[in-house]
Amino acid sequence: MKNEREKTVIKTSIISIVANIVLAGFKALVGVLSNSIAIISDAINNLSDALSSIITIIGTKLAGKAPDREHPYGHGRIEYMTSLIVSGIVLYAGLTALIESIKKIVNPEVPDYTPTTLIILISAIIVKFVLGIYVKKKGKEVNSKSLVASGTDAFNDAILSISVLVSTIIYMTLNISLEAYVGVILSAVIIKTGYELIKEAVDNVIGIRVESNISKKIKKEVMKEEEVKGAFDLILTDYGPDKYIGSIHIEVADTLTVAEIDKISRRITKNITKKYGVLLHTIGVYSINTKDEKVIRIRKDIKNIVFSHKGILEMHGFYLDEKEKTISFDIIIDFNIKEREELYKHIYDEIQEKYNDYKLNITLDVDISD
């Protein structure tokens, strides 16, 4: 599966490279002959796309290296680093084109378009549309963010090339030169794309929230175990595309033995790995009081107190130890609440005042996943 993904990414990238180099060559030639900065800017964009695909291939090959002693989780994150390099190239291409376009506005030069110019531009637009659809489709098939981004970029290029075509037609029919201004617009769009790609690459390196559909599916799968009463605190660390390693907490009855919990944990790990390719290397356990009606009433009362405050997303892991006179549980407060610590303290004090016979162990948990 891994080798097939790598082959698909490389094959698709090679097709993209060849197409972009051919397009860049034709557009650069036409741009120079017609003295059109807009067409030259479009050619530069195609050349940067080709270079991006080359770096994508290099990144994919390096990311596919087997784990070693220094990198036990593999080299998958190299793809994110190469994405950052690609983003920088796109941004540089946009800035370069913008500078040249502004120069043309300050010192305008008369373009010289021919019917051949129109034919090449129209052909380039068709090729870019087809290339964009193909690359994006392949990217989705193998879950390659780099290919999806390249496909989207190619599709956008086709739309931008239409603007160059329109400015060319306007000049040939009305003798009004807009190509320098179109060059500025093209440059701005390229710069915007570069910025967005950089932001996405940096986010992946820093670490972002796991996709909602993945976290919800995993928790739902864990909850299929009859003995599991709740699934919380799912942490998934991304070590490259389609490579997650993580942990989760489950709530189980306090009547289960260690041997029984061990069997449950092993089943969960096996099922999640088989179904989603995610390795849950740690499954923590929250014990639920099931024998004492008094404890159940206290838990319900405390839950009402906690959720009477705005911004509370979740409360879990409740356990009351009558012998030690302790009450333990976790609460999750929305990131949108600015004074999270103050709200936590307020809730703590409110519960402590009502249940002053017990020592409270309330953990302010983090909203890690949906």
pLDDT in tens, 212-237: 888 999 999 999 999 999 999 999 98
Q: What's the pLDDT score for residue 1? A: 54
pLDDT band at 142 (very low <50, low <70, confident <90, very high): confident
Dihedral angle, C-alpha 225, 230, 235, 240, nearest 10 °: 30
- What does residue 209 show for φ and ψ, rounded to 5 degrees? -60, 135
pLDDT over 80 (residue 36): no
Q: Are 302 and 327 in contact (CB under 8 A)?
A: yes
Contacting residues for 226 by C-beta, under 8 A, at least 6 apart: none
By mean pLDDT, which of 57-71, 154-168, 284-298 is the weakest? 154-168
DSSP state of 211: P
Least Cα distance to 46 among 105, 116, 132, 118 occurs for: 132
Q: Among 1.20.1510.10, 3.40.367.20, 1.10.10.10, 3.40.50.300, what is the CATH number of 2-206?
A: 1.20.1510.10
Mean pLDDT over all residues of the chain? 85
pLDDT at 151 over 90: no
Amino acid letter for position 46: N
Check: CATH 3.40.190.80 for 212-365? no
Residues sharing a CB contact under 8 Å with residue 313, sequence separation 6 or more, in sequence order: 332, 333, 334, 367
Reply yes or no on whether the pLDDT at 175 is more than 90.
Answer: no
pLDDT of residue 194: 81
Task: Please state the pTM of the whole predicted model.
Answer: 0.69
Per-residue pLDDT tens over the stretch 82-116: 778 877 877 887 787 788 778 878 887 666 777 77
- Buried/exposed 149-188: b ≥16 CB within 10 Å, e otherwise: bbbebbbbbbebbebbbebbeebeeeeebbbbebbbbbbe
pLDDT band at 153 (very low <50, low <70, confident <90, very high): confident
Of 29, 41, 20, 28, give the one whose Cα is nearest residue 160.
Answer: 41
High-pLDDT (> 90) share of the chain, %:
34
Pairing assessment for the beta strands 312-321 and 359-365 based on DSSP bridges: unpaired
CA dist list (Å): 219 to 67, 229, 363: 28, 11, 21
Using one digit for the tens of pLDDT, what is the confidence trace for 242-282?
688 899 999 999 999 999 999 999 999 999 999 988 999 89
Q: At what angle do helices 258-276 and 212-222 cross, to 10 degrees?
A: 140
Question: How far is it, in rounded angstroms, from Cα 15 to Cα 17?
Answer: 5
The pLDDT of 36-56, averaged and rounded, is 77
At residue 353, the pLDDT reads 95
At residue 38 the predicted structure's pLDDT band, cuts being 50, 70 and 90, is low
Quote helix, strand, coil % in the chain, to nearest 5.
65, 15, 20
- The domain segmentation of the chain, as residue ranges, is 2-206, 212-365
